[in-house]
């Protein structure tokens, strides 16, 4: 009979425990799985209480409370000791790293909502986007003007339940029901893995995913999504598709000074932003679009009306408060230390993380990272190489065709390159998760780099 | 030259003012227009500051601040004096009446959210619906158990951005991408006006609106939406379509004891609820589904993940606090006066409104209302006729074919019967708006009832 959880042939109680936990983890990972269907990569997943638990206490305490799972072949068993056996999930872009900053800032940045507020569907009937809280509009404009990352004059703001809803809203706004064929939607590889799914999951007759913009050529109208800085690889992008009837959607979720040098005020017709990545409040589900054409803004508003009758007022008010706090720190009358100002803090944080990751990867022959050119940031005055929210890591070894599987076998969960329309030699790794997970990541990559191939 | 705003031929400054205001109002009404496309009925709309303005002061003060518009032929001009010229918009189901109650309850029912909360996308990784705040689940179950309106045992809760998003999620969950034809979705007339639009607006290949369930017969799988109590007419409903492969979706948004006698614990496979109608917090955009089949709950969760990566945490926490407050009042240790408990208060409020409306309509030969049978409420022990959130008013005069146009000409904006798949002799009128608007409604219907036909 089996003497431990490595034995699968006996009827030891531990085996049932292992199978039971494996089943649970399988179910959870299925739920957790984000962005693509049919992905087999998350069959082993980590349950990390700090994504929720840390709300109620110190981040470091909650990290120690992390529940982890060790993997043994196809089975998974619980292990709360940490160490080599812990599975770290860096597949998602959960911006957990920001929690520490906002805790440090304390209770000053608090919203209080009495029971009688937000009864109405309506926020501002004078606004084209009638469910947009005026304070959110005001603070978004203020922050863009402070950072200098987007033109806000002559723009309509449309708020969405995260930038995901704005993406669907803009597809709806740019297409027409009377068109005989769905409009093609493209983006250059590697593109954000959610775009194909969001474009196609309802089998819409309005739009269809047409893949890589670089190999796309048409005489028909089409939509090109320009994500800059790009998710997953952090590159600065321009439209590339070949056609004269393209409509450009600029997803600028990462065009903030902790991730990339701000080089100019983006002045595009359609620009999408989200608080998930700008300040890290992913749970609030607040995004906003800056839209030049009022007819497009109206149709996006219509989409929000049909799909969700507007956007949470509580989240909007909270987002406004957060954005206000960020701007306030840069006011001349602010008493906050320069280093504690949001963009200064988060920039330094990203510099530190990228230095640590590069220190490991640069001396490794097994892994590589994209080389992104430095530029001078008009906001901070600093010259630096981009500090993307994700590491677009390549497995350089000839023997490793599937980088995600390779890393998974070493208990690092990442998102495989194929989901971004790219080679399986690449993976996307979140750089925004907890310090605890990031530390394990760098330690493990360092260890893998010094291992000989046959040890794989 | 024109001597006043009634003249349209001169070049008096007032005319430009009138035209300018008319243009603004036209644009606003276009934005405000909810639920159907191509509706011509809202070209004249009222801007009512109390939907927003009253947040910052006493409801009665804000009502006096109401900006109204008088209509002169096709033109509209501002009038803040109130009286006969005011246009009242009762098209939407904005539950403004609840604001007064929640103000009365005061600051005890307040949520406080510090800046570091809700960084994460995740709420509860152990739950199938991983973005559901456990406290909301707990309080929703507690309230259902208190009221006795739905079975919660062996159900999965899926939270949505209002029940609108849950409607789209359930359509997604019940259909398959590999089906050659979209699945038919039906509901008995008069059905909620948003269903056809929500089913069809993306030209989905998964589902299509097939109209009235009463005239529907098929051997293929289909979805029947059973809205009970029904929007717009308050009737209690059962499935009626003719087919053996129907999947039932029960929209129970109005199955609460202020609207209808609770006669049994609903025990359906798929049940939708929303805080917009249960407690009146429409601005929070929180709905929840009670789902028996875990596979359906998972696919709904998947829909939320793709479309909005979950649901606002702030709104969920706030909704939990509101639901908790409602339940707490009915605890044996509560010190709240019985009349001040939420369902007691709102039931009395609805009784009063319906008595006032019926007093007008019953003595009128021009209008009628559906006769709904009384029943005994297991929650309150009272026997009463349903008190629907909408009045489904019929214009009985032979000369009035289009009831909505007729009422619009008397400055009452309603939603026309045709949008519910019904005759234009009917309109839907919100019973949940401010006391101010409701008072004008009853006064005006009373006045119209005593007018002779030729005065129309």
Task: Name the strand (E) or helix (H) holding B394.
Answer: strand B390-395
pLDDT range class, residue A10, cuts 50, 70, 90: very low
Q: How far is CA A221 from CA A55, A174, A176, A192, A268, in A?
A: 47, 10, 11, 22, 18
Q: Which residues of B407-438 are buried (b: 16+ CB within 10 A; e: fewer)?
A: bbebbbbbbbbbbbbbbbbbbbbbbbbbbbbb
Instruction: Report the complex ipTM.
Output: 0.84
The pLDDT of residue A57 is above 90? no
DSSP characters over B137-206: HHHHHHHHHHHT-B--TT-EEEEEEHHHHHHHHHHHHH--TT-SSPEEEEEPSS--THHHHHHHTT-BSS
Average pLDDT over residues A354-362: 97
> Using an 8 Å Cβ cutoff, are B244 and B220 in contact?
no
User: What are the chain A neighbours of B312 within 8 Å (beta carbons)?
Assistant: 161, 283-286, 312, 314-315
Element (H, E) at A60: helix A59-64
Q: What is the pLDDT of residue B106?
A: 86
| pLDDT of B223 above 90 | yes
Predicted local confidence at residue B296, as pLDDT: 98
Instruction: Give the whole-angstrom CA distance, residue B259 versus residue B74.
Output: 38
pLDDT of residue A108: 84
| pLDDT score at A216 | 97
What average pLDDT does chain A have?
Answer: 85
Task: Measure the CA–CA gap between A192 and A186, rounded to whole angstroms.
Answer: 11
Chain B CB contacts of A115 below 8 Å:
102, 105-110, 321-322, 325
User: What was the pLDDT predicted at B191?
Assistant: 98
Dihedral class, residue A210 (left if φ above 0, else alpha if ψ from -120 to 50, else beta): alpha
- What token pair was written down for B250? 């029960």
Q: What phi and psi, each to the nearest 5 degrees, are found at residue A217?
A: -145, 135
A149-163 pLDDT, tens digit each: 999 999 999 999 999
When pLDDT is cut at 50, 70 and 90, the band that residue B347 belongs to is: very high
* pLDDT, tens digit (0-9, with 9 covering 90-100), for B91-111: 999 999 999 999 999 888 999
The answer to whether the Cβ–Cβ distance between A124 and B52 falls below 8 Å is: yes
Helix (H, G, I), strand (E, B) or coil at A307: helix
pLDDT in tens, A222-235: 999 999 999 999 99
Tens digit of pLDDT for each residue in A242-266? 999 999 999 999 999 999 999 999 9
pLDDT band at B332; cut points 50, 70, 90: confident
A positions 434-453 inside 8 Å of B (CB): none
User: What mean pLDDT, rounded, does chain B reach?
Assistant: 85
Could you give the CA distance from residue B177 to residue B373 in angstroms, rounded to a whole number?
Answer: 43
CB A87 within 8 Å of CB A411? yes
Question: What number of CA atoms fall less than 13 Å from residue A60's CA on the CB side?
Answer: 1
Whether the Cβ atoms of residue A70 and residue A410 lie closer than 8 Å to each other: no
CA dihedral B204, B207, B212, B217 (to 10 degrees): 140
Which of residues 250 through 289 in chain B touch A, CB cutoff 8 A?
A: 276, 280-286
| In the predicted structure, residue B247 carries a pLDDT above the cut 70 | yes
DSSP bridge pairs for A391: A429
Quick one: tokens of B433?
């708006």
pLDDT at A277 exceeding the cut of 90: yes
Please give the pLDDT value at position B260: 98
For residue A284, the distance in angstroms to the closest alpha carbon of chain B comes to 5
Q: What's the CA angle centered on B296, arms B166 and B167, to 5 degrees?
A: 15
Kindly report, residue by residue over A430-440, the tens digit of the pLDDT: 999 999 999 99
Looking at the partner chain, which of B129, B162, B203 has a beta carbon nearest the beta carbon of A206?
A: B203
Q: Average pLDDT in the B415-429 region?
A: 98
Q: How many other C-beta atoms are found inside a 10 Å radius of the C-beta of residue A384?
A: 18
CA angle A204/A206/A209 to nearest 5° reads: 70
Beta-carbon contacts of B53 under 8 Å, excluding residues fewer than 6 positions away, are B62, B65
d(Cα A230, Cα A260) in Å, to the nearest integer? 11
d(CA B23, CA B451): 32
What pLDDT, on the 0 to 100 scale, is given for residue A278?
Answer: 97
Mean pLDDT of B115-121: 95
B20-77 pLDDT, tens digit each: 444 443 333 333 333 333 333 333 333 232 333 332 222 222 222 222 222 222 333 3
Comparing CB atoms, the residue among B114, B119, B310 nearest residue A280 is B119
Q: What is the mean pLDDT of residues A302-329?
A: 97
- Return the pLDDT at B8: 34
| For chain B, percent of residues with pLDDT exceeding 70 | 81
Q: Could B322 and A115 be called an inter-chain contact, meaning their C-beta atoms sit closer than 8 Å?
A: yes
Query: In Å, what is the CA distance from A60 to each residue of A88, A91, A348, A447?
Result: 16, 22, 20, 24
Task: Say what percent of chain A tops pLDDT 90.
Answer: 78
Closest CA–CA distance from residue A451 to any residue of chain B (Å): 34
pLDDT band at A267 (very low <50, low <70, confident <90, very high): very high
Burial environment of residue A421 by CB neighbours within 10 A (0 to 12, 13 to 18, 19 or more): buried
**CB-based contact (8 Å) between A23 and chain B?**
no
Q: Which chain B residues contact residue A94 at CB under 8 A? A: 120-122
What tokens does B7 get?
Answer: 């003249």
CB contact under 8 A, B309 and A115: no
Integer-rounded Cα Rg, in Å, for chain A is: 23
Average pLDDT rounded to a whole number, residues A40-54: 32
- Tell whether A4 is within 8 A of chain B (Cβ): no
Average the pLDDT over B191-201 and give the result: 98
B115 and A110: CB-CB below 8 Å?
A: yes
Give the burial class of B244: count Cβ atoms within 10 A of its Cβ; 0-12 exposed, 13-18 middle, 19 or more buried: exposed
Tell me the CB-side half-sphere exposure of residue A274, using CA atoms within 13 A.
27
What is the mean predicted confidence (pLDDT) over A199-213? 98
Classified as helix, coil or strand, A274 is strand
CB interface of A with B, residues 160-199, below 8 Å: 161-162, 164-165, 168, 172, 177, 182, 194, 197-198
Residue A94's pLDDT band (boundaries 50, 70, 90)?
very high
Nearest chain A alpha carbon to B118: A283
Beta strands in B252-389 (DSSP E): 270-274, 286-291, 367-368, 375-376, 383-384
Do A95 and B310 lie within an 8 Å CB cutoff? no
pTM for this model (two decimals): 0.84
Other C-beta atoms closer than 10 Å to the C-beta of A454 total 6
> Cα dihedral angle (B242, B243, B247, B250), rounded to 10 degrees?
10
Number of Cα atoms under 13 Å in the Cβ half of residue B110: 12
Residues A25-34 pLDDT 10s: 343 333 333 3
Which pLDDT score is estimated for B64? 23
Return the pLDDT at A332: 85
Q: At what angle do helices B294-308 and A162-174 cross, to 10 degrees?
A: 70
Q: What is the CA radius of gyration of chain B?
A: 23
Non-local CB neighbours of A45 within 8 Å, separated by 6+ positions: A25, A28, A29, A32, A69, A87, A89, A413
pLDDT of residue B451: 80
Name the band, by pLDDT with cuts 50, 70 and 90, for residue B375: very high
């Amino acid at each position: 009979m089996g003497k431990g959880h490595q034995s699968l042939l006996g009827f030891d109680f531990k085996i049932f425990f292992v199978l039971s936990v494996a089943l649970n983890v399988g179910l959870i990972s299925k739920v957790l799985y984000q962005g693509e269907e049919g992905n087999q990569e998350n069959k082993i997943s980590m349950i990390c209480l700090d994504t929720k638990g840390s709300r109620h206490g110190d981040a470091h305490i909650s990290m120690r409370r992390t529940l982890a799972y060790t993997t043994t072949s196809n089975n998974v068993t619980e292990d709360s000791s940490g160490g080599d056996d812990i599975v770290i999930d860096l597949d998602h872009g959960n911006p957990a790293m920001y929690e520490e900053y906002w805790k440090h800032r304390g209770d000053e940045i608090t919203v209080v909502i009495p029971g009688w507020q937000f009864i109405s569907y309506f926020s501002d009937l004078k606004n084209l986007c009638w469910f947009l809280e005026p304070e959110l509009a005001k603070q978004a404009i203020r922050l863009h003007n402070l950072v200098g990352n987007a033109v806000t004059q002559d723009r309509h703001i449309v708020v969405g339940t995260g930038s995901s809803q704005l993406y669907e809203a803009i597809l709806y706004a740019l297409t027409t029901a009377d068109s005989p064929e769905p409009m093609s939607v493209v983006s250059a590889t590697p593109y954000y893995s959610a775009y194909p799914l969001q474009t196609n999951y309802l089998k819409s007759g309005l739009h269809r995913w047409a893949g890589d913009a670089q190999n796309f050529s048409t005489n028909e109208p089409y939509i090109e999504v320009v994500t800059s800085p790009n998710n997953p690889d952090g590159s600065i992008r321009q439209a590339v598709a070949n056609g004269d009837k393209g409509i450009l959607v600029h997803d600028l979720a990462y065009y903030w000074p902790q991730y990339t040098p701000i080089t100019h005020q983006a002045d595009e017709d359609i620009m999408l932003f989200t608080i998930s990545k700008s300040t890290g409040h992913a749970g609030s589900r607040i995004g906003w679009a800056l839209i030049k054409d009022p007819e497009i803004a109206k149709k996006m508003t219509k989409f929000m009306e049909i799909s969700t009758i507007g956007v949470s007022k509580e989240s909007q008010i909270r987002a406004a408060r957060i954005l206000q706090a960020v701007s306030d720190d840069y006011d001349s009358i602010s008493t906050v230390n320069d280093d504690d100002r949001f963009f200064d803090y988060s920039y330094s944080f990203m510099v530190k993380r990228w230095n640590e990751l590069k220190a490991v990867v640069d001396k490794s022959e097994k892994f590589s990272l994209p080389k992104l050119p430095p530029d001078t940031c008009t906001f901070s005055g600093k010259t630096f190489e981009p500090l993307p929210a994700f590491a677009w890591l390549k497995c350089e070894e000839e023997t490793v065709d599937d980088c995600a599987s390779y890393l998974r076998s070493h208990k690092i969960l990442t998102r495989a390159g194929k989901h971004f329309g790219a080679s399986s030699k690449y993976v996307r790794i979140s750089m925004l998760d907890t310090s605890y997970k990031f530390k394990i990541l760098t330690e493990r990559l360092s260890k893998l780099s010094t291992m000989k191939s046959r040890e794989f």
